Chains A and B, each alone.
Chain A
Amino acid sequence: MKKSTVKKLLKYINKYNFFMAISIIMAVIRVSTALYLPLQVSKVIDYMVGVGKVDFVSIKKMLMQVIIFICITVVSQWIMGVCNNHVTFHVTKNLRNDLIKKIQALPLRIVDSKNSGDLVSRIIADVDQVGDGLLLGFSQAFVSFFTIILTLIFMLRQNVIITLVVVVLTPISFFVASFIAKRSYNMFTKQSVTRGEQTALINEIIPNEAMVKAYSYEDKAIERFNEVNYRLSGYSLKATFYSSITNPATRFVNNLVYASVGIVGVIFVIRGHITVGILSAFLSYANQYTKPFNDISSVITELQNALACASRVFEFMEFEEEEEFAKGVDSTEAMEDIPIDADIQGTLKGEKVYFKYNDSAQILKGADFSVKKGHKCAIVGPTGCGKTTIINLIMRFYDIDSGSLYLDDYDIGKVQREFIRNNIGMVLQDTWLQTGTVAENISFGKPDATMDEIKEAAKSCFADSFIRKLPNGYDTVISEGGGNLSQGQKQLLCIARVMLMKPKVLILDEATSNIDTLTEIKIVKAFDKLMEGRTSLIVAHRLSTIKNADCIFVLNHGIIQEEGNHDELLKKNGLYAELYNSQFA
């Protein structure tokens, strides 16, 4: 699992092999020159033999060398940083682009079964985390690794025993750090659980303040809040304090190493094993030796985190994509060559349609229906009978399990989706609008429409008057989710959007539960206007609007149980009559 994630991630990185290679080369150069510096400095110190005996010529030569080394280090460090940036941000960009393409290529069966917040967080937060991990990994993993190895080699070449002192003592800081981390982890968990509890409480109380006030619940709410707050601050104190011991503790170990190296070093200097300069080199190595270890441990946690996120990203990438044609349709049957704007008559027919969602019960069990050209038909039925499902099937958001659906004489499973969708206009219950201007939203289905066409479409469905009252008329920007419009206004815009497309066939999911009666009348009129001269199929949730439909299909238990116009169905005194009369109880 993990291995394959790494492999997939590498595929994205491989495109930038050139930059990666440079980055690694620069890392090696940078570490070697940086580590060589204390050694050179130590030599310089050794040239300062004593009063009046300082070898200025050699010192000058050495210092010039040092300056060159410094410059090399600086330049290589910068190039490395730039390369790492380049690779990381290109990888995250490519990941995100592929993800969004993936979303649009996924069947709705999969999208609907996932939590959309979770999908968004994969695109945004997870990819970010992958990026952070990569950046830190690239910039520190190599450097730390080379630093450890090269420092060891450099030290060993000078003096084995002092090296041993450093190598044996340094890991203590490691153990101390992980010991503390384990202890504080527990408290951090408790802290975040309690924080979650507090957030949930705030989330329950503050958005519902009207209810809280209505029942004078304020004091009780404050009491509950204070109780959680008290617990939270206890855990926070412990978590913060425990974790804040880490720094002093590792610094303490560092100081110990420094002191030990100093003592042993001075003794060696006295015995003449090493020079004072070498001792100074050892002291600076000792000072810095814990750093790469700490860096690596933080890189490892960060990388683990990044890998976990990457695996979520790749899991998404591997969802099965949608096929252009329905299952079981082979290439000989598929009609790929119909131009998407081919002219059609506009009839709809379903024959023995069977369908069920992923794990749900069978929704349709052989539904038959037929809508003639220019007819206005309605589907009614009790809640949950599968009315809305029929829209999903005709628009090919989902494919049927068996049976057939026809648009004119085309079996919709055998033609391109684009052809079907180009010919069928759809208005859903969920009035989705995009962030953008009113005009942009109306011309969503026909991006090249002129302003006149847009206005005409809006006028013909009674939306023009309210649009003109908006602060910037047609150029008013609709905020996220259409927040600045009422439900009814949003619905009118959705109707105008379809109106502009002038499709041959309409599918309407009529739901107006949140709209007051007077606006509803407007919408009904707009719908009527929209349906003039078009074949239309309405999914009706209320029965008031469909009395004049040419044909009403009563869907129940997965089949069309009754069929006919309003009067015929009432006479039948069956399910339709029962549904109809329940309104007046």
Chain B
Amino acid sequence: MKKLLVYIKEYKKECILGPLFKLLEACFDLIVPLVMAKMIDEGVLGDNNSIIIKMGIILFVLALVGLTCSITAQYFAAKAAIGFVSNIRESLFKHIQKLSVSQINSLGSSTLLTRMTSDINQLQSGTNMALRLFLRSPFIVAGAVILSYTISIKEGFLFSGMIVLLAIVIFSIMLITMPLYKKIQSSLDEVTLNSEENLSGIRVIRAFNRQDDEIEKFVGNNDKLSRLQIHTGRISSLMNPLTYLILNLTLVLVIWVAAKQLNIGLLHAGAIIALINYMTQILTELIKLADTIILSTKAISCGERIQAVFDVVPEFYPEDEDNKVKASNGDFDYKEPLVEFNDVTFKYKSAKEPSLENINLKLYKGQTIGVIGSTGSGKSTLVNLIPRFYDATDGEIIYKNKNVKEYDISELRKLMSPVLQKSVLLSGTIRENLCVSKPDATEDDIIYALKASQSYDFVMQKQNGIDYKISEGAKNLSGGQKQRIAIARGLIKEPEILIFDDSFSALDFKTDLSVRRAIKELTFDPLTIIVSQRVSTVSDCDEILVMDDGQIVGRGKHEELLKNCEVYKSIYESQIKMQ
């Protein structure tokens, strides 16, 4: 949490001025009862009209000055709090962009979303409240006590005792109920899960005649929830009666002491009224303080969760990024292998077994390579290593005679187009989506890419053609259309390496074939790697790699593999022969 304070530095001035003005306002609030006491004592007893008018004016002026101070303070508090979180949000987003895909996956994108939204919002309101109240409330409480001592030392003692008692009651109720509220929340989560399952599994539940059991289960959890709520409610509803009790019993004592002191001339009636006023002020501020503390602890834990994301060190963004070689198209003899795998082994962080073992490969420009194998055989992992979505655990991956780690990562990726399994399109027009890959794409580039990916015809049939607006999550495109636009996005930047990671799965056989034919004809002649589960998709590749359990168990052309690779044969048979 402390480290986050860097982001509020810019607002140092506001952070000091805000509470300061709050303090001023509190001073004026404290003076009011004294003025009133003077007005009553001197005005009434002295029968002095001029003092009444004078004091009356002072009261109005105090109110007005108080208002001005307070509004100024609110402004500074709001400015500091919002500037603070706005800075955090900006840096956090930037930071997340630097993390590697595997780091983001292990953090979980839904978690990151909550951190970026609700956690940050909580932090904002917590900071705002803290700046407004942390100085004001304790100051008023302390001030009221001190002033009560100036009125009468005995009364001062009573006040101090009351505050201690009030603080004990308020904070112990808070401490007892806070964990209970957490329990309520997790119980509510359970009820939510129950209802979600009742809906998502509605067909299965009915098909197995389990409706009554599901209802019973829900009712059980719901019952637990409401019992917890009632129990907690009972405790927290003690707060008001108890504070009322303490405050008013003190009042009785205060009056009794005041009566004694008045009898011997130590006190005036006005002072008693001032004392009563101070008591109400103290109670209000203590309750506010308790609220602020709850809000602040929440904000601090949110802050810690945010900090935890900042603490994740990006894998691929070392400090000496500037020293990296810029990858470029020139100065390379394309007769040499474009990509080489030298004894590459890769193991996911949490996994026991490596996903790839001792892979050796040489791939050349212009080649079309097929990769096939069952789920978990390591095909996707293999291709993910080339654009450095992950780094090899052992061995090295060479691109144009240099280890991929020596290149500037974004420059490296500019020369490759991985088209991923899941076709993700951004909301925006088709044109904007293609420009993600090549910001300066011309109309001709776009048409070329659309035609090659067999999307041109359906795009033209859409309203506005290339400027057709894709909705959030691309819900207004079919699975096959999404995939083809994603392919077009991969093609348009004319990369040296084109990687298709199971990216033809939503295409029917005919379209699949046409796309593959078009890719062979591409003018920029890239190294094309096609990962697929369909034999038909890879069967006409220059070379097919058959993966099994992290190893390449066969490589060669379709016909060769049918003859001498058992795994390939069994996949082929399950797909083709059975049909």
Chain A positions near chain B (C-beta within 8 angstroms): 34, 37, 41, 44-45, 47-48, 50-54, 56, 59, 63, 66-67, 70-71, 73-75, 77-78, 81-82, 84-86, 88-90, 92-93, 96-97, 99-101, 103-104, 108, 111, 116, 119-120, 123-124, 128, 195, 198-200, 202-218, 220-222, 225-226, 229-230, 232-233, 236-237, 240-241, 244-245, 247-249, 251-252, 255-256, 258-259, 262-263, 266-267, 269-270, 276-277, 279-280, 283-284, 287, 340, 395, 397, 417-418, 421-422, 424, 426, 428, 430, 432, 434-435, 444-445, 447, 480-481, 486, 488, 497, 501, 513, 515-521, 543-545, 547, 580, 582-585
Chain B positions near chain A (C-beta within 8 angstroms): 25, 32, 36, 39-40, 43-44, 47, 49, 52-53, 56, 59-60, 62-64, 66-67, 70-71, 74-75, 77-79, 81-83, 85-86, 89-90, 93-94, 96-101, 104, 109-110, 112-113, 116-117, 121, 124, 128, 132, 188, 191-215, 218-219, 222-223, 225-226, 229-230, 233-234, 237-238, 240-242, 244-245, 248-249, 251-252, 255-256, 258-260, 262-265, 269-270, 272-273, 276-277, 280, 374-376, 387, 389, 410, 413-414, 416-418, 420, 422, 424, 426-427, 436-437, 439, 472, 489, 493, 505, 508-510, 513, 533, 570-571, 574-575, 578-579
Q: Which residue of A lies closest to B508 (CB)?
A: A582
**Residues of the A chain whose Cβ atoms lie less than 8 Å from the Cβ of B219:** 97, 100
Q: Is the CB of B375 within 8 A of A66?
A: no
Pick the residue among B60, B109, B225, B374 that contacts A256 (CB under 8 A): B60
Pick the residue among A96, A249, A279 that contacts B222 (CB under 8 A): A96
Q: Is the CB of B113 within 8 A of A214?
A: no
Least CB distance, A202 to chain B, in whole angstroms: 5
Q: Is the CB of B575 within 8 A of A517?
A: yes
Q: Report how far A418 CA is from B109 CA in the complex, Å.
A: 42
**Residues of the B chain whose Cβ atoms lie less than 8 Å from the Cβ of A434:** 197, 201
Q: Report how far A582 CA is from B512 CA in the complex, Å.
A: 12
Q: Is the CB of B191 within 8 A of A124?
A: yes
**Residues of the B chain whose Cβ atoms lie less than 8 Å from the Cβ of A244:** 74, 77-78, 128, 132
Q: Report how far A459 CA is from B240 CA in the complex, Å.
A: 62
Q: Report how far A52 CA is from B270 CA in the complex, Å.
A: 17
Q: Is the CB of B215 within 8 A of A210?
A: no
Q: Is the CB of A70 within 8 A of B252?
A: yes
Q: Which residue of B lies closest to A256 (CB)?
A: B63
Q: Is the CB of B66 within 8 A of A252?
A: yes
Interface centre among A56, A248, A258, A426 (most CB of B within 10 A): A248
**Residues of the A chain whose Cβ atoms lie less than 8 Å from the Cβ of B47:** 270
**Which label, helix, strand, loop or mixed, suits the secondary structure of the B interface?**
helix
Given contacts A51-B262, A244-B78, A426-B204, 20 further A-B contacts (CB under 8 A): A93-B223, A108-B206, A119-B199, A202-B117, A206-B104, A209-B96, A210-B424, A221-B97, A236-B124, A237-B82, A259-B63, A262-B59, A263-B39, A263-B56, A263-B59, A395-B203, A426-B207, A516-B375, A582-B510, A583-B579
Q: Is the CB of A225 within 8 A of B43?
A: no
**Residues of the A chain whose Cβ atoms lie less than 8 Å from the Cβ of B49:** 270
Q: Is the CB of B251 within 8 A of A74?
A: no
Q: Is the CB of A48 within 8 A of B238?
A: no
Interface centre among A211, A216, A233, A480 (most CB of B within 10 A): A211
Q: Is the CB of B579 within 8 A of A204?
A: no
Q: Is the CB of A210 within 8 A of B101?
A: yes
Pick the residue among B79, B260, B436 that contacts A217 (CB under 8 A): B436
Q: Is the CB of A218 within 8 A of B97?
A: yes
Q: Is the CB of A255 within 8 A of B59?
A: yes
**Residues of the A chain whose Cβ atoms lie less than 8 Å from the Cβ of B132:** 244
Q: Is the CB of B75 within 8 A of A63?
A: no
Q: Is the CB of B437 within 8 A of A48?
A: no
**Residues of the B chain whose Cβ atoms lie less than 8 Å from the Cβ of A205:** 97
Least CB distance, A193 to chain B, in whole angstroms: 14
Q: Which residue of A lies closest to B79 (CB)?
A: A237
Pick the residue among A86, A221, A517 that contacts B230 (CB under 8 A): A86
Q: Is the CB of A93 within 8 A of B226?
A: yes
**Residues of the A chain whose Cβ atoms lie less than 8 Å from the Cβ of B269:** 45, 48, 276-277, 280
**Residues of the A chain whose Cβ atoms lie less than 8 Å from the Cβ of B575:** 517, 544
**Residues of the B chain whose Cβ atoms lie less than 8 Å from the Cβ of A120:** 192, 195-196, 199
10 nearest A-B pairs in the assembled complex, by CB-CB distance = A81-B237, A85-B233, A248-B70, A259-B59, A255-B63, A233-B86, A516-B375, A93-B226, A207-B109, A54-B263
Q: Is the CB of B203 within 8 A of A240?
A: no
Q: Report how far A279 CA is from B269 CA in the complex, Å.
A: 11
Q: Report how far A200 CA is from B116 CA in the complex, Å.
A: 12
**Residues of the B chain whose Cβ atoms lie less than 8 Å from the Cβ of A283:** 36, 273, 277
**Residues of the A chain whose Cβ atoms lie less than 8 Å from the Cβ of B420:** 210-211, 214
Q: Is the CB of B234 within 8 A of A104?
A: no
**Residues of the A chain whose Cβ atoms lie less than 8 Å from the Cβ of B97:** 205, 209, 212, 218, 221-222
Pick the residue among B25, B40, B198 that contacts A279 (CB under 8 A): B40
Knowing A85-B230, A226-B90 are in contact, say whether A395-B426 is a contact too (CB < 8 A): no
Q: Report how far A488 CA is from B188 CA in the complex, Å.
A: 32
Q: Report how far A221 CA is from B94 CA in the complex, Å.
A: 9
Q: Is the CB of B509 within 8 A of A54?
A: no
**Residues of the A chain whose Cβ atoms lie less than 8 Å from the Cβ of B574:** 517-518, 520-521
Q: Report how far A475 CA is from B229 CA in the complex, Å.
A: 32
**Residues of the B chain whose Cβ atoms lie less than 8 Å from the Cβ of A85:** 229-230, 233-234, 237
**Residues of the B chain whose Cβ atoms lie less than 8 Å from the Cβ of A252:** 63-64, 66-67
Pick the residue among A108, A259, A497 that contacts B203 (CB under 8 A): A108
**Residues of the A chain whose Cβ atoms lie less than 8 Å from the Cβ of B277:** 283-284, 287
Q: Is the CB of A206 within 8 A of B109?
A: yes
Q: Which residue of B lies closest to A112 (CB)?
A: B202
Knowing A48-B269, A287-B277, A518-B571 are in contact, say whether A225-B258 is a contact too (CB < 8 A): no
Q: Is the CB of A258 within 8 A of B436?
A: no
**Residues of the B chain whose Cβ atoms lie less than 8 Å from the Cβ of A585:** 509-510, 513
Q: Report how far A520 CA is from B574 CA in the complex, Å.
A: 9
- Supply 10 A–B pairs (Cβ within 8 Å), ascending by A: A41-B255, A86-B230, A99-B195, A207-B113, A208-B424, A236-B124, A237-B78, A395-B203, A426-B204, A518-B571
Q: Is the CB of A67 within 8 A of B63?
A: no
Q: Which residue of B lies closest to A520 (CB)?
A: B574
Q: Is the CB of A421 within 8 A of B265?
A: no
Q: Is the CB of B249 within 8 A of A517?
A: no
Q: Is the CB of A70 within 8 A of B82?
A: no
Q: Is the CB of A48 within 8 A of B262?
A: yes
Q: Which residue of A lies closest to B201 (CB)?
A: A432
**Residues of the B chain whose Cβ atoms lie less than 8 Å from the Cβ of A103:** 195, 198-199, 202
**Residues of the B chain whose Cβ atoms lie less than 8 Å from the Cβ of A447:** 210, 213
Q: Report how far A220 CA is from B234 CA in the complex, Å.
A: 53
Q: Report how far A108 CA is from B205 CA in the complex, Å.
A: 12
Least CB distance, B421 to chain A, in whole angstroms: 9
Interface centre among B25, B94, B513 (most CB of A within 10 A): B94
Pick the residue among B44, B205, B233 that contacts A81 (CB under 8 A): B233
**Residues of the A chain whose Cβ atoms lie less than 8 Å from the Cβ of B196:** 116, 120
Pick the residue among B60, B71, B193 that contacts A435 (CB under 8 A): B193
Q: Is the CB of A100 within 8 A of B195?
A: yes
Q: Is the CB of A258 within 8 A of B375?
A: no
Q: Is the CB of B375 within 8 A of A284?
A: no
Q: Which residue of B lies closest to A426 (CB)?
A: B207
Pick the residue among A93, A104, A276, A481 that contacts B198 (CB under 8 A): A104
Interface centre among A249, A287, A444 (most CB of B within 10 A): A444
Q: Is the CB of A259 within 8 A of B60?
A: yes
Q: Which residue of B lies closest to A545 (CB)?
A: B578
Knowing A74-B245, A221-B97 are in contact, say whether A584-B203 is a contact too (CB < 8 A): no
Interface centre among B39, B70, B222 (most CB of A within 10 A): B222
Q: Is the CB of B104 within 8 A of A215?
A: no
Q: Report how far A96 CA is from B194 CA in the complex, Å.
A: 11
Q: Which residue of B lies closest to A280 (CB)?
A: B273
Q: Report how far A27 CA is from B132 CA in the complex, Å.
A: 34
**Residues of the A chain whose Cβ atoms lie less than 8 Å from the Cβ of B248:** 37, 66, 70, 73
Knowing A97-B218, A101-B215 are in contact, say whether A195-B533 is a contact too (CB < 8 A): no
Q: Report how far A1 CA is from B105 CA in the complex, Å.
A: 48
